[in-house]
Chains A and B, each alone.
Chain A
Amino acid sequence: MDTVTLRIKRYDGVKEWYQEYQLPYEKGKTLLYSLTKIREELDPTLTFSAACRHAICGSCAVRVNGNAFLACKTSLDQLLETFETERLTLEPLNNFPVIRDLVVDWEPKLERMKAVRPWLIPSEDGDPSEGFRQSPEDFRKIASPTDCILCGICSSECGQLSLNQEGYLDPFILNKAYRFAVDSRDAAPEEHIRPALEKGLWKCLHCMECVTKCPKEIDLAGENAYLRQASIQMGERDNKGARHAYAFVEDVKSKGRLNEVTLPMKTEGFVSTMNRIPFALRLIRKGKINPLHMPREVEGIEGVRKIYEHAQGVKEP
């Protein structure tokens, strides 16, 4: 391979177009190296952002062939190998307003982030002059979420956000809510969790894009599960998401398996379920559900129930 082609989405504030740049292939370079080379040698008008070049400042994220990467952390060779090509398409992050070329606007996102009160609401156990003590164990709880560099990759890739920009919070914002909710020095976890709940916490599609793409490998999906558990413990059980989850918990305990016939009723209640009658009839016609079918208890169900009892005793957030 002698040359690599980067096809870059351009935007000048008015119009958008794709522009191709050809670079001599050099082994062992990063994506950011290629972008810098284009700007320095081919086109000084190409606009992108980057600063630290060490995956710390979070300013260089772009999309390559539809997937977001940190340009400074990503090897060009690996991209060419992954996509089996010599030609890559670069675009700005998804789910952000674009300012110019590959540069996106963070202003509205940071504004949205305030919803979860991304700051410490101090407990009584210390004061600013004395400082706040934290055990190593408690510190470990916030070690991973504080790795977030606000690069925006999770927002770009989020399945729910891509369909619903307003009614859901970006994964990095949920990470912030989590980060303060589990901080032993924080006195008011609810104040971080409740706004997340009100902004569609249960709408997550479980697509696992955020955990897959996060350059800091933060367990964003696991954190989401924690926030939902915590919201349930706060008494927020009366919503579709929590009711749906409980339907599974209860069915496994009573029979071992899911009862697909009662699931919509348990999740949505009677009235909404009635709206699903045409849907249900369609399934019944094809034999997909049998309203008279009652799942039998699985072999060993008593053992399953004992496992439930044991888990109750092990409650640990």
Chain B
Amino acid sequence: MRYGFFPGCTLESAAKELMISTKKVAAALGIELVELEGWTCCGASHIQDVDDFLATSINARNIALAEQLDAPLLTVCNTCTLMLRTAKQKLDRNEQLKKRVNQGLAEAGVEYRGTVEITHFLWVLVKDYGLDRLKEKVKRPLEGLKVANFYGCHILRPPQIMGFENPLNPQSMERVAEALGAECVDFDQRLACCGFHAVFPAEKEVMKLTGINCLSSKDAGADCLVTPCPLCQMQLDMYQPDAQRGFDQDITVPILHLPQLVGLALGFEPAELGIGRHIVDAIPLLRKKLVTA
């Protein structure tokens, strides 16, 4: 199993722990990740607000880099996945657009052909790798750990572009968590938005949403919240102390990246997965809940 790895900007700085944990987990599972050389930011759902054609063009270039490797493109970020898949869908459905985009790409010495798929780590686990195989790799079942699976918008919506599972009642996160031995809790905000993309222009609303999201998982009895998206993770973790100011109740809940949850079950120690880098400390909880952690 070999993929063209598109880390996305956050993995280089604020979510470096996701780079660390993704690489360790992939290696332990025998998934080969080849980082695309010269990848650029996907536009993070913003560049199309200035120039749609430019947004499509830069992602055509990113996808072309994976085509050069002749490997599916894998991301660990919901928004990167949506941005890349949006560009791909536009290009594959519109010959004229593809031609015009490729004129620009030609000057950069690359060509978009439309030959590779764009996928996300979560989908790879469920579909390409398989949960039975994943189960066999579990060294430390996460028994007794109650997780709230927070999908994040862009891995589900819009389904016309994402299309992996029913956005109204997805199950992939629960199936992975259960394969790892964890217990899933159902909570109101399971499919909610984290608000990250509007945290500057709509700070007040987004802080409120952050508090609601955290509280919802806590009220359902979760020990921690897990997400397949670094932007959701950042919003819910980094801004949690700010969001707390708007709430009387304690909203504190640790927020893990999906590959970190997988890594814990594969037997890695929290520190090895960069869990110590989170703003809300998850380590005391994991020490209490996990054998030998």
User: Which A residues contact B (CB, under 8 angstroms)?
Assistant: 66-67, 82-84, 159-160, 163-164, 200, 202-209, 211-212, 217, 221, 225-226, 228-229, 232, 239-242, 244-246, 248-249, 251-252, 256-258, 260-261, 264, 267-268, 279, 282-283, 286-290, 293, 295, 298-304, 306-311, 314-316
What are some 16 contacts across the A-B interface (CB < 8 A)? A159-B192, A163-B208, A206-B154, A208-B153, A212-B157, A225-B48, A228-B50, A244-B201, A245-B49, A256-B38, A279-B239, A299-B38, A300-B109, A303-B107, A311-B57, A314-B104
Please tell me if the beta carbons of B13 and A308 are within 8 angstroms of each other in the complex.
no
Q: For the complex, what is the distance from the CA of A316 to the CA of B101, rounded to whole Å?
A: 13
Q: For the complex, what is the distance from the CA of A244 to the CA of B202, rounded to whole Å?
A: 12
Please tell me if the beta carbons of A308 and B202 are within 8 angstroms of each other in the complex.
no
- CB neighbours (8 Å) of A303 from chain B are 61, 107-110
- CB neighbours (8 Å) of A245 from chain B are 46-47, 49-50
Q: Is residue B51 contacting chain A, with contact meaning CB distance below 8 A?
A: yes
- CB neighbours (8 Å) of B104 from chain A are 306-307, 309-311, 314
Please tell me if the beta carbons of B14 and A260 are within 8 angstroms of each other in the complex.
yes
Please tell me if the beta carbons of A212 and B197 are within 8 angstroms of each other in the complex.
no
Please tell me if the beta carbons of A229 and B50 are within 8 angstroms of each other in the complex.
yes
Q: Is residue B179 contacting chain A, with contact meaning CB distance below 8 A?
A: no
Chain B 73-112 interface 0/1 with A at a Cβ cutoff of 8 Å (1 = within): 0000000000000000000000000001001110111100
B13 to chain A, nearest CB (A): 5
B157 interface neighbour in A211, A228, A249, A268, Cβ under 8 Å: A211
Residue tally, chain B, CB below 8 Å to A = 68
- The residue of chain B having its C-beta at the shortest distance from the C-beta of A66 within the complex is B188
Please tell me if the beta carbons of A206 and B198 are within 8 angstroms of each other in the complex.
yes
- CB neighbours (8 Å) of A203 from chain B are 198, 201-202, 205
- CB neighbours (8 Å) of A264 from chain B are 200
Q: For the complex, what is the distance from the CA of A158 to the CA of B62, rounded to whole Å?
A: 31
How many A-B contacts at CB < 8 Å in the complex?
Answer: 205
Known A252-B40, A298-B39; 7 more pairs at CB < 8 Å:
A204-B198, A212-B158, A229-B49, A252-B41, A260-B10, A302-B108, A314-B100
Please tell me if the beta carbons of A260 and B9 are within 8 angstroms of each other in the complex.
yes
Please tell me if the beta carbons of A225 and B238 are within 8 angstroms of each other in the complex.
no
Please tell me if the beta carbons of B202 and A252 are within 8 angstroms of each other in the complex.
no
Please tell me if the beta carbons of A205 and B12 are within 8 angstroms of each other in the complex.
no
B43 interface neighbour in A67, A248, A268, A293, Cβ under 8 Å: A248
A240 interface neighbour in B43, B110, B200, B209, Cβ under 8 Å: B200
Please tell me if the beta carbons of A282 and B241 are within 8 angstroms of each other in the complex.
yes
Please tell me if the beta carbons of B50 and A307 are within 8 angstroms of each other in the complex.
no
A245-B47, A257-B9, A260-B9 as given contacts; A300 in contact with B157, CB under 8 Å? no
- The residue of chain A having its C-beta at the shortest distance from the C-beta of B43 within the complex is A248
Q: Is residue B263 contacting chain A, with contact meaning CB distance below 8 A?
A: no
A203-B201, A249-B47 as given contacts; A208 in contact with B53, CB under 8 Å? no
